[in-house]
Structure 1
């Protein structure tokens, strides 16, 4: 039986730490608590003396922030995974998290389901990484297909945050046959169908075709170049090239443009290749890979189907004037003006087109995310619960890095606005029972929020007295009685299963005043929550 992975929580507010502890499904995820820390310095001290696998950290910490903690831990070579939490929905925070290869970014108040899903994903990534570690030195007796997979995994590891040591590099050279010089360049290729919506080939078949085409195109080249599939980034293909620094990139441009044309001819796909900076040896290719990844995503502004050299990208002296459409778009959503909302989207992309020489793809992503979050929040505010979330179900982080052009991004955002207004029209046709079912499901997961009849009335344009009557008819309890019951059931669980203080439990279930919480609890269960034993005894008698 393997040891459980250890989790550390770094958060300066004790009540938030305790809330996180209560939300983690320790048993189902097979995790143990390593320790808690109220600041980054304490967390680093803990890491000196014990093993920690998963770290949940707030960004805003005293003296040393969460990103500085991540930087120090990664710099020490510790193979821990991070989940970042923040009370601020700022794109700059998400961008910094991506810089440190942190993919799990949660906003407060943290949803229990989101937290546990992030922990599950991070745990699986660690298990996969450790499985690769155990197989790294077993390549001598592999079949050709296994050797290809092993090579892909090994090269993917070289590109990661934790580079192998000199001994591992020599082992890699021996079994893969790398003969590249001290200078190496990483290039990244993205692919898209020539016609939008055209189905692509199965991944394994596509990879087979790409390797065969590459061997033919590169037959006359003098560069040592390996093509492989990134094991952690779906749909990404990476080149590792070696040779004389003075002539390496010149030969690569010729090779890559010929390869792009061959892919277009034989596979009916459009390829774009980003070329990173040259580096000294395999141990330093992580930086070259990061630059190549940045360059290939510049296709949204510089054009797909080309070779984009990171060294040719420069930041203009004057920053771009980014369009501010938030106020206009919000007004269109509030007043349900579909045509004007689509015009706002068109104006945003027209401005980006006009300023493309001053922008990079991160600027484009920031504008799109800002507008998307505005629409998403308006949908969730107007349609509580899962219905609002279902309206905007696209995998936005994946889409941000997959678009080939501004036109493609604009078509997606316009379809998003269309879906929003389709949902608005559908909402106007709801029956009273439909609204009751939606609100009841919303209460089940959001009972800790400030939910009142006025909120329901404004959201669904239904009279509060009428809603109260039909809610009781369909549910069998009054609206306030149902809401209070859900809060009390959760409070009872926390009293039974945790050592949280009453003030902390009161806040978790939606009461700011602990005295009022105690009064409601006593009325509901017949015993004060401070008398935990008596409360549970009465619970068994109910």
Structure 2
């Protein structure tokens, strides 16, 4: 795996880029993040990343100056990709003078980035092979070559001879993911995993084809001597393998099983289908075994959670109704499972909820940094790898945010809503609207609208219209002002719209209403 450092002063830009790309399938892993050039300079010296993706404009030390200093120091020289929101040729010229690999404009296009990363991975692989692989085992180099593209016949013959494996046989690529609630490689499972798999596959004195991937994952090429079908079905066979791994490693494990291929040369296709299975990691009914043969025909959901569900969650949080927001969380996570949300769609939903909480807290003049669970949820993809784990940390964050918001608001909702009503009663003649009132009272507009209806039996707009029409009726009865003047006095910007709304509510026009009052007096 080639190490990547991402440098951008916007945390959500960094997280968005991390979530946008399937780094592991491109032979990359994220080794660190930095929010300015000075911090990045120190991390480059400490982590020795192969690739640095850097924003061009940042505080303390900008992207171009960072690259200049790295080049000048003459130490570790990573490949650089520059991200920029400025389509200025002068920036690009300067970047390429510093031998930057690519210059990509924001917002980042996924296809463009993937194409660039593939090209860089090829360059880095060639450099690695030219260095005679001094710091990598031969088996790992061979595996990484096999899973990137189909080797030629001559190369395959040499590989098969070296590994003492048949060229034509049933092979399957399986991703073993360790779900231990720890960051990537905080515990190195390679040796215990090798020991367990050797014993399970009965590989006495034979080569085990295993390599380290990113995100606590290990890629394994299942030997042709062991096939899951011998247990009656592939799922039963992999279920026994999963149980054995969890027992011996004493942690939760998931298996992502690619399609079986009939030649070692074609294992790249099995690897690609195993990678596709990762997109189904939040699907229902898989019990930790994600099989390409079962999943890849099922349509994935790539979008955000429904607005209704999101709105309900925010409302219940603002009301600090624990039972209500827990019910909303249950519904959201059920949707993740049943509709096959992709990891990216799940991440977007989580990020949207976090941003909503941060905005509410800031409106209340609070500080989201006081939420102890925010950093954990912000980096959830480095540790929480299944839906139950994610739901646990998400729920803790929501509980803490709801309590913080309630405390920051400092008043009960009933008291606040009465103050809002009094404000409307006193200002209905002005150009007021729900969003502006919500901001004045440090409340979410959706929450305020629902709370108003709950307490007073009508929506904000209905109540405001009623007040204005009642005042218009009084002015029609007691003054000789013209209809357009009355419309303006009660808060309508357009006299025709006023007349339409008046007739809709009173079943008569303003002029007819006034005449009726005169006739009855």
- TM score, norm. by length of structure 2: 0.50
- TM score, norm. by length of structure 1: 0.48
User: Which protein has the larger Cα radius of gyration, Structure 1 or Structure 2?
Assistant: 2
Question: Higher relative contact order by CA 8 Å / sep ≥ 6: 1 or 2?
Answer: 2
